[in-house]
Chain A
Amino acid sequence: SQQGEEDPQALSIQEGENATMNCSYKTSINNLQWYRQNSGRGLVHLILIRSNEREKHSGRLRVTLDTSKKSSSLLITASRAADTASYFCATDSGGGADGLTFGKGTHLIIQP
């Protein structure tokens, strides 16, 4: 069964705007990861946030984690056409990469 559920399912914004995607999960986690998938390609790891962290930054990416609400958000600032992709959150409840559980993803379209 799916652990993470992304919201919205699809998002279309203008280039230069910020894009925010959300992820909700059901059970306790050790960490949460975000991945990007370009059409026809494999998933690429973007960022990992541990359960004891509340916010993390990487370049134009900002991830927040609220374990009390079992939710996370991914913010992409100053979006670019190349950011067009599907974005997935993945949760890890085990001690390592024990079978990451993915949501169905948010399809992000950046319009030039």
Chain B
Amino acid sequence: DAGVIQSPRHEVTEMGQEVTLRCKPISGHDYLFWYRQTMMRGLELLIYFNNNVPIDDSGMPEDRFSAKMPNASFSTLKIQPSEPRDSAVYFCASSRRREAFFGQGTRLTVV
């Protein structure tokens, strides 16, 4: 298995634009997580899914953020409209039991 695959690896966008981050989890994993990492706040859990169903989205910072998991092999995190303070590295991770496997992350810069 190729591991958790995220795209794009880097994204630079202007404030106000819509940004969509994509994630393909490891096949057979039933948990999927979205994290955000910044120097100031560290690694924050935004939302996680179990069997494609959102379980806890209390970490989503604002209504500008939304996440979907239409099937077991794909998830998106959307920010609309984007703001400079959304600049961070966004990680997707998947799990079948307790160990989480992370993707390489998407480095988002909003200018």
Chain A residues at the B interface, C-beta cutoff of 8 Å: 2, 31, 33, 35, 40-45, 48, 88, 90, 92, 96-105
Q: Which of B35, B97, B105 contacts A97 (CB 8 A)?
A: B97
Closest to B32 in A: A97
| A35 CB contacts on chain B under 8 angstroms | 100
Q: How far is the CA of A104 from the CA of B77 in the complex (A)?
A: 23
A-B contact count (CB 8 A): 63
Q: Which of A35, A48, A99, A101 has the most CB of B within 10 A?
A: A99
Q: How far is the CA of A96 from the CA of B56 in the complex (A)?
A: 14
B25-38 interface code vs A (CB 8 A; 1 in, 0 out) = 00000010101000
| B104 CB contacts on chain A under 8 angstroms | 41-42
Cβ contact within 8 Å between A33 and B98: yes
What is the interface size of chain B, counting residues whose CB is below 8 A from a CB of the partner?
A: 23
Q: Which of A42, A44, A101 has the most CB of B within 10 A?
A: A42
Q: Cβ of B108 < 8 Å from any Cβ of A? A: no
| A99 CB contacts on chain B under 8 angstroms | 33, 45, 48, 55-56
Say yes or no: A42-B4 contact (C-beta < 8 A), given A96-B31, A96-B97, A97-B100.
yes
Chain B residues at the A interface, C-beta cutoff of 8 Å: 4, 31, 33, 35, 42-43, 45, 48, 55-56, 91, 93, 95-105
Q: How far is the CA of A96 from the CA of B51 in the complex (A)?
A: 13
Closest to A42 in B: B102
Cβ contact within 8 Å between B99 and A48: yes
What's the minimum C-beta distance from A30 to chain B, rounded to whole angstroms?
A: 8
Q: How far is the CA of A43 from the CA of B93 in the complex (A)?
A: 9
| A100 CB contacts on chain B under 8 angstroms | 33, 45, 100
Some 18 contacts from A to B, beta carbons below 8 A apart, are A2-B42, A31-B98, A33-B98, A33-B99, A42-B91, A42-B102, A42-B105, A48-B98, A90-B100, A96-B97, A97-B95, A97-B96, A97-B97, A98-B48, A100-B100, A102-B35, A102-B42, A105-B42
